[in-house]
Amino acid sequence: MLKRMLIGLVRSHESTGERAKDPLLKTRYYKLPKDQVWEEVTAVIKKTPGYKLLHEVKNVGEIVVERRTMLGRTQDVTLTLFGITPVKTAIDIYSASRGSMGDLGSNYRTILDIYKQLDRKLASYKIDS
């Protein structure tokens, strides 16, 4: 956690992906069709205090969310859903803070928070990589 805060002194964004060094930032996979995952993701975002759904671009697979941190900063969070097969969907997240200062690891924590909520909601469909 300290390492994340030190990185966050200068960096104001974080993202997930296949090759993420941190296992907590690896792409998530669910054994569900993309449309069904889309519905679950938007439902989770809409129910979570502090998160505001801004845009949904279904044909591209992007959900854009705004989040206010405890310190009053604004984060722009993009969730990208990929239909791998008709019954397997992947989710990646990119989170960036507005402004020029570092985020003290808040984008990292935002991503982990979203993944934790999705993993809980979609637990029986999660595919461990």
Asked whether 127 and 32 are in contact (CB, 8 A), the reply is no
Q: What's the pLDDT at 5?
A: 55
Q: What's the pLDDT at 94?
A: 97
Instruction: Provide the residue range defining the domain that includes 111.
Output: 2-127
Is the pLDDT assigned to residue 1 strictly greater than 80?
A: no
Least confident of 1-10, 15-24, 72-81, 95-104: 1-10
Q: What's the pLDDT at 72?
A: 83
Asked whether 82 and 34 are in contact (CB, 8 A), the reply is yes
Is the pLDDT assigned to residue 6 strictly greater than 90?
A: no
Residue range 38-46: mean pLDDT, rounded: 96
pLDDT in tens, 58-108: 999 999 999 998 778 899 999 999 999 999 999 999 999 998 777 778 899
Residue range 111-124: mean pLDDT, rounded: 96
Q: Count up the domains in the chain and report the number.
A: 1
Sign of CA dihedral 12, 74, 50, 48: negative
Distance CA 86, CA 24 (A): 25
Distance CA 128, CA 109 (A): 21
Percentage of the chain exceeding pLDDT 90? 77
What average pLDDT does the chain have?
A: 90
Is the pLDDT assigned to residue 3 strictly greater than 90?
A: no
User: Domain with 19 in it: what CATH number?
Assistant: 3.30.310.220
Residue 51 burial (CB < 10 Å; 0-12/13-18/19+)?
A: buried
